[in-house]
Amino acid sequence: MISIIEFLVISAFFLILVIALIVAIIFIKRGQDIQKKQNIFEHFDGYIAILQYHMEKAYDIVHKDQILIYSLEATGIPDDKFDEASSSFGKLVIKMLGPMLYGELRYLYGDDALIFNIVEYFNSKYEADEIRSTALENLTADEEEIK
């Protein structure tokens, strides 16, 4: 039979072993996080190029489906339609990125900053809508010719 002292020694040994295992897991996890951050920063240009590509494709799709009619008519898009198009754009970009790349970008930016950057891209592309600008210029030129 095991004496109380032997039991305490064995228990202490297992407790120290468990604590050492937990500390090792923490250090390994920290090392992986540091390595993941370094990898993302080393390949930052690639991540941004992929994000840019998917945002351009998503903008083309959303623009064609939801905004083009307003651009051709040289009218401003109603706020509710703009919000709907902006939301559709964000969802489409996330879907096109896929879960792995979206997770990497969320790790890099955080949820709020990533969504903000995606929506801001949509807003700036809409503001620089050349079709709408050209149609508006043509409309004002036609009005001047009428006068």
Q: How far is CA 102 from the centre of its chain?
A: 6
Distance from C-alpha of 37 to C-alpha of 96, rounded to nearest angstrom: 23
pLDDT given at position 63: 86
Cα dihedral 97/78/70/147 (nearest 10): -150
Of 56, 36, 54, the C-alpha closest to 104 is: 36
Categorize the per-residue pLDDT at 143 as very low, low, confident or very high, splitting at 50, 70 and 90: low
The CA angle 78-59-65, to the nearest 5 degrees, is 55
Per residue in 75-114, pLDDT (tens digit) is 777 888 889 999 999 999 999 999 999 998 998 889 899 9
Give residues with Cβ within 8 angstroms of 135, minimum separation 6.
Answer: 71, 72, 73, 74
pTM of the model: 0.67
Q: At what angle do helices 44-62 and 4-42 cross, to 10 degrees?
A: 60
